[in-house]
Amino acid sequence: PIPYPAMKALLLEPAVPPSSPPAAASPAPTLNSSHGDSLLAKFCHTQPCAPEKFVNAIMGRCLARRALPFFWLRRDAELFHADRALIRAVARAVNMTEVNEAIEDYWGHSANFSRLRRTWGLRLSTRRLRRMANTLLPSGELPPVSRS
């Protein structure tokens, strides 16, 4: 068997030879970066909100009222991870078409099929989110009308 320090050195050893130049990594978009005409930029310009506080600010404004006590008691709860993902997706939106697409993706998220979220409504109010985004973003294309 290989002793632990030697195994650790093997695992941490770079797979690329040191003579080759490192590959350029593309920076991942963050909420802190400037997005110009995005919802994040417009919201933080009109409201007293730092970009890093954007997710919690939107959660406080758009969360269903019956879910607020759960959110304030357990902010980092796994219960609200789908809501945070939706807010991060909507933060980059520059028109309502992108907001509506993000909301459609949100409704297909597996977390929305739990009993707490489905029956008790412990989730983000997409109606409030749309209203808030509609005051800040241009309309884009209208979503299709369901004929059911």
Quote the longest CA-to-CA distance of the chain.
67
| The pLDDT value given to residue 35 | 52
Query: What tokens does 88 get?
Result: 């991060």
Sequential pLDDT tens for the chain (148 residues):
444 444 444 444 444 444 444 444 434 344 444 456 899 999 998 988 889 999 989 988 998 888 878 777 776 677 788 899 999 999 999 999 999 999 999 888 877 788 777 778 788 899 999 999 999 988 765 555 555 4
Q: What is the pTM of this model?
A: 0.67
| Conformational region of residue 141, where left means phi above 0, alpha means psi within -120 to 50, and beta covers everything else | beta
Whole-number Å distance between alpha carbons of 19 and 134: 53
